[in-house]
Amino acid sequence: MVATTIFATAFAPDGEYLVAATHDGVVACWALKYTLSSDWWTNENTRDVTSPTPAFSFQAHNCAIYSVVFAGSEDNPILVTGGDDEIRCWKWLDMLSAFGVQTQGLLTSHTFSLNLKPSVVLQPTDFLSSRGITAAAAETNGLAVSADGTQLYSASGDSRAYLFDLSGGRGTCTAAFEGHTDMLHCIAKRPKTEQIVTGSEDGSVRIWDIRSHECTTVLNPSTGQYGGAKDPISASSAGWIGCVAVDEGDNWLACGSAARCLSVFHLSSVTLTAAMPLTAPPSSVLFFEDKVLSAGAEPRICHWKRDGSFISSTPVSSPCLYSIAVNPKNRVLISAGVGSQLDVFINHTTRSFSFQL
């Protein structure tokens, strides 16, 4: 029997829901406004449920889902799932409406299975065909969204990143970012700059100009070496890049490599400022306030200062993590990976409880 694996998580824009995507194509959702409230733990119907199950779930893909993100506007959020087959967009308010009808707005610990269909299916194959390129569909390993929610960026297994225009309910692929020599694992959008950052199996991190679709900078995280797209920057001997993140101020870039190292770059000067040794390859990294949090193939979350100083580690339930995320509305930290539990940390240092898939 294959163990449940949760590859990706995301918080809804209002911070009231948590979404998780699994190895077998299921998307599950927990209603945080219930499970994080005192009512959940005192209500006679739920107070004995120490590991809350999803409020609802549905079969989003018939294969693994590696990435999930919210796009669209605040009034019309879109849940985007990237799988082994294609990228699918789901109308979030339709999901909540279906959930609300079945629960009649009542506090519940029961899981509802919803029958939903995507509003848009995204594939870059037509765009590639228009350029005379024949390519089979490749897995989507990472997703990022523009600040206005209309532009979606994907990290693909065919060594390319893609740009999709979601405005007006469309899903048109408008550009490809080409230059990596192996599959992409991760992608991030710089919040204040018209650039994206990608990490690849080829051992490099690339920074791309969104308007020209050209690579402007290539980084080797293991050495700190950098240059332009055509400069002879050697591939990293450290192996693949598993995760990238940019801070809210758009000043710092963090990336994790298979060499069990977490690197931090100052973006404006393209300077390697810290290299943190890890005991396992990282698969997820994020900035939170003045700290960097990382997680990977070990049962803990590491907390670092941006200068590379180690602060602490937090034990988790899973032996191997693929996703960590912080809810911007209430600062709650969650972790997920191998296994059916998602750990919840209200104070980031001790597990408060776990959601059960």
Q: For the chain (length 357 residues), average pLDDT per consecutive 10?
A: 87 95 95 82 70 90 97 93 95 87 50 78 78 73 96 96 90 93 96 97 95 93 68 59 97 95 94 93 96 98 97 97 96 97 95 93
With beta carbons less than 8 A apart as the criterion, state whether 186 and 134 touch. no
How do strand 26-31 and strand 17-22 relate by DSSP bridges?
antiparallel
Q: Which two tokens stand for residue 288?
A: 């939170």
Q: Are strands 56-59 and 112-113 parallel, antiparallel or unpaired?
A: parallel
Which of 97, 84, 118, 96 minimizes the C-alpha distance to 29? 96
pLDDT at residue number 37: 79
Q: Quick one: CA dihedral 127, 131, 135, 140, positive or negative?
A: negative
Nearest to 34 by CA among 42, 22, 26: 42
Q: Rounded to an integer, what distance in angstroms lies between the CA atom of residue 170 and that of residue 121?
A: 9
- Within 10 angstroms of residue 44's Cβ, the number of other Cβ atoms is 6
pLDDT of 319 reads 97
Query: pTM of this prediction?
Result: 0.92
Residue type, 264: V
Q: Order across the sheet with 17-22: list the strands.
A: 6-11, 17-22, 26-31, 56-59, 112-113
Q: Are 320 and 296 in contact (CB under 8 A)?
A: yes
Those residues whose C-beta lies under 8 Å from the C-beta of residue 118, and which sit 6 or more positions away, are 60, 88, 89, 90
Q: Which of 326, 353, 357 is nearest to 341 (CA)?
A: 357
Contacts 24+ apart (CB under 8 A), 234-238: 235/181, 235/202, 235/203, 235/204, 236/202, 236/203, 236/204, 237/203, 238/203
Phi, psi of 169 (to 5 degrees): 80, 10
